[in-house]
Amino acid sequence: MSYFRDNIERMVGYVPGEQPSDPEVVKLNTNENPYPPSERVLAALGSMNAEQLRRYPEPTAVMFRETAAKILGFSPEQIICGNGSDELLTMASRAFVGPQGLMAYPVPTYSLYRTLAHIEDAGFVEIPFGPDWSLPEELYSTGAKLTLLSNPNAPSGTMIEADEVAHLAKKLDGVLIVDEAYVDFAESNCLELVDKHKNVLILRTLSKGYSLAGLRFGYGIGNGKLIAGLNKVKDSYNCDAVSVMLASEAITDQEAMGENARKVKDERERLSERLRAVGFEVPESQANFLLARMPAECPLTAKQLYKKLKQHKVYVRYLEQTHLADCVRITVGRPEENGALLETMRQVGIEI
């Protein structure tokens, strides 16, 4: 006997990346920023007082919404905050889809999308990207209530330009979420679409570019009516007082974020070149990670490489998805971490 709904009983939950506790591990598996957050964030953390913790937080994270609105050029009413952008994805699937509804997205992509469809007992359409990671034509005509586009895409790091995303938005009858979790490492974004397309919702997070994965804070930007509707389904106090204050300080310090992003991009280029030089197929990434397809002549499979690296305390991500069986995903770390990865790859049998 099960007490769960049938769809929950049948489904497989989302599996996060491993979080080893060993401080000696070279951790390149969960796309954390290798550099610390802004000093302003750490100073704000030290300034928190008992009264701020005793009281409930302001329920709509107004401090952050007003701060972000000034920086990004929107009104606070166009911004909604969440416990990471993952919570905003959950809110969107609840508000726009629901049981028997339909979600659509190109694959391979963020596996949480399928999990959310299962939770809502909704249908989902998964359409393979083109061989060059281009948008599949079939995505334009699914009839889905919610279409999701990870952009830059996880796990490929590839980017669909704003004009093509705009074309997609025009063709859809439902909502288009552009999941920009990794946009701080990209050369462009889709913010311009928000005021041009009432069905576009941009999601962002402070986990990646702002080095605050441990804080769990994300935000969405969209048409005021979309945001008002999403506010109906959010939890009462979904963002705590600490996260709202620290997120507000982080987004204010664009200089610190930009400097960290520049260092990551420099290392991304260096690591890409080294991997391609020995036969790995690596798409042009606009994120803080690389998807590396194993060389044809490599004596190891991707899963074997992942396991051997782990034995040497170097963690990368092996994603057991149909389209990715011969790939590993590598977070771009600091120069010494990337150097340790390359040296360990040589030790386990890859001539690099």
Position 1 scores a pLDDT of 86
The rounded distance, in Å, linking the Cα atoms of 352 and 341 is: 10
Selection from 156, 84, 151, 94 nearest residue 121 by Cα: 94
DSSP state of 56: P
The rounded distance, in Å, linking the Cα atoms of 144 and 308 is: 42
The gap between the terminal CA atoms of the chain, to the nearest Å, is 54
Q: Does the structure show a pLDDT above 80 at 120?
A: yes
Token pair of 172, please? 């859809």
User: Are 62 and 83 in contact, with CB atoms under 8 Å apart?
Assistant: no
Domain that includes residue 21, residue range: 6-36+255-347
How sure is the predictor about 81, in pLDDT bands with cuts at 50, 70 and 90?
very high
Q: Does the structure show a pLDDT above 90 at 332?
A: yes
Do 178 and 63 lie in one domain? The reply is yes
Q: Does the structure show a pLDDT above 90 at 164?
A: yes
Quote the mean pLDDT of the chain.
Answer: 96
Q: Which residues pair with 102 in a beta bridge?
A: 123
Nearest 5°: phi and psi at 292?
Answer: -115, 115
Report how far Cα 108 is from the mean position of its chain's Cα atoms: 14
Token pair of 38, please? 């802004």
Pick the range with the lowest mean pLDDT from 14-18, 229-233, 337-341. 14-18
The answer as to whether 138 is a domain residue is: yes
Position 320 scores a pLDDT of 84
Single residue among 231, 253, 275 that ends a domain in this structure: 253
Q: Does the structure show a pLDDT above 80 at 151?
A: yes
User: Are 193 and 223 in contact, with CB atoms under 8 Å apart?
Assistant: no
Number of compact structural domains in the chain: 2
Do 108 and 189 lie in one domain? The reply is yes
Span 144-168, average pLDDT: 98
Write the CB contacts of 324 (distance below 8 Å, at least 6 apart in sequence): 108, 155, 291, 302
Do 216 and 284 lie in one domain? The reply is no
Position 323 scores a pLDDT of 85
Span 189-202, average pLDDT: 98
Token pair of 138, please? 């079939």
Tell me the per-residue pLDDT of 56-80, one tens digit each, with 9 for 90 and over: 999 999 999 999 999 999 999 999 9
Do 139 and 210 lie in one domain? The reply is yes
Q: Does the structure show a pLDDT above 90 at 297?
A: no
How sure is the predictor about 321, in pLDDT bands with cuts at 50, 70 and 90?
confident
Do 235 and 301 lie in one domain? The reply is no
- Concatenate the DSSP letters of all residues of 166-212 into one string: HHHHHH-SSEEEEE-TTGGGSS--SGGGTTT-TTEEEEEESSSTTS-
The rounded distance, in Å, linking the Cα atoms of 295 and 290 is: 15
Q: Which residues pair with 329 in a beta bridge?
A: 291, 317
The answer as to whether 352 is a domain residue is: no
Do 190 and 339 lie in one domain? The reply is no
Single residue among 205, 236, 253 that ends a domain in this structure: 253
Position 68 scores a pLDDT of 98
Global pTM reads: 0.96
